Structure 1
């Protein structure tokens, strides 16, 4: 079979191929419109704004506020509480496009996606009324605490425990959490703890809403080699006293299940977390690739731009392919989750997070390599992304743990632990 001709020769009247930053044509028009609108918002701020805010130790308050006013932050939350009534599909589009513009909002992963979803699905009426309107309009934020120093990826080793005060019915929460994003700017933190099952004596997962200024709830900032507005914290909970209604879902008789539904609540939040992390990584990868492609088109050392040389062009083409494949898996995961298929969404969300994280790391690495020395300058805005691009490979779950999940759950292979 002869070699296939280049596209321009095969179809001289074909439209110009999509640039790396353009949305896929398979999306419905309303999603493409959403992408375009959010992209325009991101372009008004851009990487320089984001880098300056991070460098000065400030927050992206202006962008957060404007995104909230436009309805983007609460697009996944119920309309009766001020949200857009859509799903994680739309919320992930918002985060991806902001990231592609160079100014991702990490707290979107935590506040509306994890905490907003858990409360919307399992919270009591009072919890929904208290928290969802503020999460939807951006006036309130929530953080999420699950990782512990001695537990890591093993949620069964979580030692943060809650016990009842028999005299008052209050909860007393004790434990430690690490790598919790944005506690200093969050009104409350959704803490994953464990309570003792009265029937079996075993510990089971429960989720608690802990307001920021609750006595006994302290935080210590973790010094990170990461240029980001959102800071990381270690939390210490020393007999933190919480009212009975701090438990997500209330009592066992409530539809949210309270003490008996903690594990279900937890995974209802973790799947959106993985999907949104994938969107975060996709935006980062697209931004880096766009920078590299622009440079390769314009940088001339010999007779032609460096992008004419296959040693430069082919790695960038490979990155573009990887990003597009990861985006398709992210869309699949989001659609499955929004359709209520939690089991299938769990597999797809892990795969999407894995694929997007790998694509982003490769994109940033290749972008820096394409620019050479300029890739390490502040002017081009890629150097700080070298560290940031590894975040999605590590958090919220490592690539190795995702491979464990796929090998066990998808392929049926035995566990080694």
Structure 2
């Protein structure tokens, strides 16, 4: 069996990845089983460079706040000497979830700006966050996205077409800390999401998005396609946040299941918009990119089950979506030691090299009727591969040992 498994392995290179796929996908998703490990992000960066050079990829999208990511995109697409801030400022304000602390993310941003310097706009690399402005402890105020959408429309269409004034939005939004109170994640009664003002804002946001759609031919000509795309992002984010806040105020037993599903729906909408722009490398946790239903335990809640962004995008794009799951052997600094030999990770750990791309369909054939055991993680921040999901992967990236960043 070991010989057969070894025959399914390849070097971690873009060319090897593409040989596993029927055609170049519009979205190539690379998952990770844990966050915060620069070894995995360095591998992502290396693969992105190869995809740029060999396959014409020009966009990378990561599991970070889509609104904050606009600052990173502005920085990497602008020429040196422009007023888009310093690298330090962009790293501090352009990433959510603490991802700005990663040396690999910093190097990605630095390198992308250097690559773009002097290139025509059509050939520049682009950066995107595709997560909503959401954290585990709560959600952002819809103010930034909603007012940015209103400002864009107010500058581009007849005032009489606007459903409200900026002052009306400001009054209804109120103080931002009404929306961002972390207590609302545990206690629905603390949420602003089902107040009279929030319900009116949902209707106005819907009208603003409808106006944006209706005025598309004029707005693309009067501004630019990039500006219009960004306005669409504002619209998706404003309506998504208002919907998320509404259900934060829900008291039913399926509240958390609904919220986590809404988050991935926002992710999926952002990814589908990016797919319109051209091929992109997508990087996020495996659970947000897999085709199978995702599961997670959270606090004292029953097991949460939801369709991930990857599953939603795959349903729309079919073969133009591809997913590589990343598996790993050890993260010893987090208490994750040598995997049991009867798990997927254990079988791959027995191979001699430190990292591979594995043909997951070939691996399934090599295993035959043998179903590997499920690995149990001693570290809450690491999720082993589910052997039952092997058929849903286009490939597996395996990293044997992950040293401390």
TM normalised by structure 1 equals: 0.26
Greater relative contact order, per chain length (Cα 8 Å cut-off, separation 6+)? 2
TM score, norm. by length of structure 2: 0.26
